[in-house]
Chains A and B, each alone.
Chain A
């Protein structure tokens, strides 16, 4: 097991009991808010440079270099700027931010104070997913503690820097995790993504320059300041520096949130006792969705080794090796493992149903295309599909991809493309042997009906 910088000290290594690091006192006992003290003595630009040097990349999915993003924020005189933490985590397969906020709310708050200082923001927000009310209350309590201790509010630690921090719950829509949808929702409007440009760095919340960052990204600022950017950059491989939280789920012995040093081989991650602990029941690995439901699924042979035969590593570059033909993406780190008993077609139906349900409906390809794909998959699972339907699915996903306002269109198209690309025979099996499928009582299960005998 490598170093832990984000989710360390949550449990006692011997007894396994919680250490109380969720309180201000407990957090301070483990060195909490030391990074803030250090940061407030630096110039804001120096912090931005540190973050640039650390090589930290956004942990929300796209992997955009954080320091570079910060350097883009517009600074028109007299206009306030804002930092928004994206805690809307709703990508199927991803549950790391919730874990982090649940157990170490002060780590996020400390990261946000430092980042707000670096960006010159005096009013910042945490936009938290509406279903996470437990974590909302945990954060609110931690914020109250921080205000009482002079870590938020006016003149923080006598530095002259003021910051107000609000936590705001959404109403339960995946699309409010897209940064401009989030901004609309935060402003009290319907969470429709905005048409870009302008980007939030120029015109975000209340049309003011805004940076939106993921929970884990902002939390990582704390260890970067504590250990120094150079030390941090030594962890990992190449342009994938530092540690990353992985939400591991599926047919593995030990599902859960793991912090890895970027660069761990995928094979080790699945089979090592330090991480997933191998396949459940010793069954064979069939496929992995490596970065949350929207990234391409890969069959076992391609997730363990690249097309060139090199071992695949848990880094942005290695997972992306081979493009979409033979590779995938690290995405948000939602690592879904499937064994040989899994039906890729059914899994795809499940994902597609999700994207159909979550489309905001603003632009034609996503609004109409996601529903269409779901209906075709439903038809295939019902035993009425044809080979032409498989080709049609392929065609539709291609007509959605790249033609939409926000990347939800791609998020819906990629899983369909990848499933057909790598598992076409399985689709054909469904189409050619409909008798087999009817056994699964797919229709009844879908509609929560008892099968009629």
Chain B
């Protein structure tokens, strides 16, 4: 089993593990942010470039550092590999660049976006980006379109992560959607609108890291931080029926899949559970859910996030001061 050292923390992992998965096994602050990788789907990752890390030592066999930052979600661990994430200021600068690119054409319409409060792009921007944009040109515009009867696509919020495309490929029997056009004009589309009609298509709302794909049965009903999530289940002939329901008083405002601490769905749910079971009597409630993510607004606690930022910075300083296991010259900013 290969051993890998990430920011000075060493772990042994099964063969074929990616750097990102290894970092998740270690846990904590050194886990790179991932906007397009999705462990529950095949062949995801590699597109957004937020998860880039430096490899300062390739492996025991070939200790040469890798010349460019690599996407940790798509790079397999080699025995003896040494990886820098928070310990490389140059890498953090490069990541801030990626975040800037992702936000470049983003409309920043959080005040009217249903995803606000549970949006990975908000978190990413807050934790890894800069507070000001340097972009002064018109942002790209798209009209919202329907992806099937219950899903709305706001293409201008999309970050081209391809998760919904992979989901459509892997979870539904026919390929319904893909990317049209190219470059910064490329857009997710079904080509023929309304064509997505499948029992599991609703899961694309859950995998979408931003507010590009939203649930039409929930749109504009409430800000997410005013609704109370509870884990609940029901006997469902189509899916496992394990869901998360979002309550306002006694009313079920929306139903989603249950998500783990990286925001990934644990069990896919079917469209019937998601869109049609909107009464508390439809569900057996298990109890309130602890939301593990750290969204800027979901806590309604800007201070916590400021603390979090300090904490990350301190953590980085600590790791930098430790200077362990990083190899000669690894902390030289010119070297990363």
From A190, A356, A375, A398, give the contact of B183 (CB < 8 A): A356
Are B97 and A361 in contact (CB-based, < 8 A)? no
Are A367 and B186 in contact (CB-based, < 8 A)? yes
Are A371 and B102 in contact (CB-based, < 8 A)? no
Chain A, interface SS category: helix
Name A191's closest neighbour in chain B (CB-CB): B182
Q: A80 at the A/B interface (Cβ < 8 Å)?
A: no
Shortest Cβ distance from residue B191 to the other chain A in the assembled complex, whole angstroms: 12
Are A364 and B160 in contact (CB-based, < 8 A)? yes
Q: B319 at the A/B interface (Cβ < 8 Å)?
A: no
- Give the interface size bracket for A toward B: 20 to 34
Q: A207 at the A/B interface (Cβ < 8 Å)?
A: no
Are B52 and A403 in contact (CB-based, < 8 A)? yes
Chain B, interface SS category: loop
Are A365 and B47 in contact (CB-based, < 8 A)? no
Note all chain A residues with C-beta closer than 8 A to B181. Answer: 361
A364-B159, A375-B137, A392-B134 as given contacts; A370 in contact with B46, CB under 8 Å = no
Q: B55 at the A/B interface (Cβ < 8 Å)?
A: no
Shortest Cβ distance from residue B325 to the other chain A in the assembled complex, whole angstroms: 25
State which residues 354-374 of A face B: CB under 8 Å: 356-365, 367-372
Note all chain B residues with C-beta closer than 8 A to A365. Answer: 49, 97-98, 101
Note all chain A residues with C-beta closer than 8 A to B100. Answer: 399
A364-B160, A368-B101, A368-B104 as given contacts; A405 in contact with B47, CB under 8 Å = yes
Q: A173 at the A/B interface (Cβ < 8 Å)?
A: yes
Note all chain A residues with C-beta closer than 8 A to B50. Answer: 364
Name B96's closest neighbour in chain A (CB-CB): A399
Q: B69 at the A/B interface (Cβ < 8 Å)?
A: yes
Note all chain B residues with C-beta closer than 8 A to A367. Answer: 101, 160, 183-184, 186
A362-B160, A363-B48, A405-B46 as given contacts; A399 in contact with B101, CB under 8 Å = yes
Name A399's closest neighbour in chain B (CB-CB): B97
Name A365's closest neighbour in chain B (CB-CB): B101
In Å, the complex CA distance between A360 and B184 comes to 8
Name B183's closest neighbour in chain A (CB-CB): A359
Q: A2 at the A/B interface (Cβ < 8 Å)?
A: no
Are B134 and A361 in contact (CB-based, < 8 A)? no
Note all chain B residues with C-beta closer than 8 A to A361. Answer: 160, 179, 181-186
From A175, A190, A392, give the contact of B179 (CB < 8 A): A190
Note all chain B residues with C-beta closer than 8 A to A49. Answer: none
Q: A140 at the A/B interface (Cβ < 8 Å)?
A: no
Q: B68 at the A/B interface (Cβ < 8 Å)?
A: yes
Note all chain A residues with C-beta closer than 8 A to B134. Answer: 392
Shortest Cβ distance from residue B159 to the other chain A in the assembled complex, whole angstroms: 7
Q: Encode A183-206 as 1/0 by CB contact (under 8 A) with B.
A: 000000010000100000000000
Note all chain B residues with C-beta closer than 8 A to A362. Answer: 47, 160, 162
Are B182 and A359 in contact (CB-based, < 8 A)? yes
How many chain B residues touch the partner (CB < 8 A)?
Answer: 34
Q: A402 at the A/B interface (Cβ < 8 Å)?
A: yes
State which residues 150-169 of B face A: CB under 8 Å: 159-160, 162
Are B183 and A370 in contact (CB-based, < 8 A)? yes
Q: B298 at the A/B interface (Cβ < 8 Å)?
A: no
Note all chain A residues with C-beta closer than 8 A to B52. Answer: 403
Q: A52 at the A/B interface (Cβ < 8 Å)?
A: no
Note all chain A residues with C-beta closer than 8 A to B185. Answer: 361
Note all chain B residues with C-beta closer than 8 A to A405. Answer: 46-47
Q: B320 at the A/B interface (Cβ < 8 Å)?
A: no
Are A403 and B68 in contact (CB-based, < 8 A)? yes
In Å, the complex CA distance between A358 and B186 comes to 12
Point out which of A173, A175, A372 has the most chain B C-beta atoms below 10 A from its C-beta: A372
State which residues 330-386 of A face B: CB under 8 Å: 356-365, 367-372, 375
From A173, A175, A371, give the contact of B184 (CB < 8 A): A371
Are A403 and B183 in contact (CB-based, < 8 A)? no
Q: B148 at the A/B interface (Cβ < 8 Å)?
A: no
Q: B89 at the A/B interface (Cβ < 8 Å)?
A: no
Q: Encode B90-109 as 1/0 by CB contact (under 8 A) with A.
A: 00001001101110110000
Name A195's closest neighbour in chain B (CB-CB): B46
Note all chain A residues with C-beta closer than 8 A to B182. Answer: 173, 175, 358-361
Note all chain B residues with C-beta closer than 8 A to A363. Answer: 46-49
Name B35's closest neighbour in chain A (CB-CB): A364
Point out which of A356, A365, A367 has the most chain B C-beta atoms below 10 A from its C-beta: A367
Are A402 and B67 in contact (CB-based, < 8 A)? yes
State which residues 13-52 of B face A: CB under 8 Å: 45-50, 52
Note all chain A residues with C-beta closer than 8 A to B183. Answer: 356-361, 367, 370-371
In Å, the complex CA distance between A175 and B159 comes to 21
Q: Encode B46-76 as 1/0 by CB contact (under 8 A) with A.
A: 1111101000000000000001110100100
Note all chain B residues with C-beta closer than 8 A to A195. Answer: 45-46, 71, 74
Are A364 and B74 in contact (CB-based, < 8 A)? no
Point out which of B100, B159, B183 has the most chain A C-beta atoms below 10 A from its C-beta: B183
Are A364 and B49 in contact (CB-based, < 8 A)? yes
A362-B160, A392-B134 as given contacts; A372 in contact with B104, CB under 8 Å = yes
Residue contacts A-B, CB under 8 angstroms, 11 given: A175-B182, A195-B45, A195-B71, A358-B183, A364-B160, A365-B98, A371-B184, A402-B67, A402-B69, A403-B49, A405-B47
A residues with a Cβ closer than 8 A to B are 173, 175, 190, 195, 356-365, 367-372, 375, 392, 398-399, 402-405
Q: Which 8 A-B pairs have the closest CB atoms?
A: A399-B97, A402-B68, A361-B186, A195-B46, A368-B101, A359-B183, A368-B104, A364-B101
| 14 further interface pairs, Cβ-Cβ under 8 Å (given A356-B183, A402-B67) | A358-B183, A361-B160, A361-B179, A361-B181, A361-B182, A362-B160, A363-B47, A363-B49, A367-B101, A367-B160, A368-B102, A371-B183, A375-B137, A399-B94
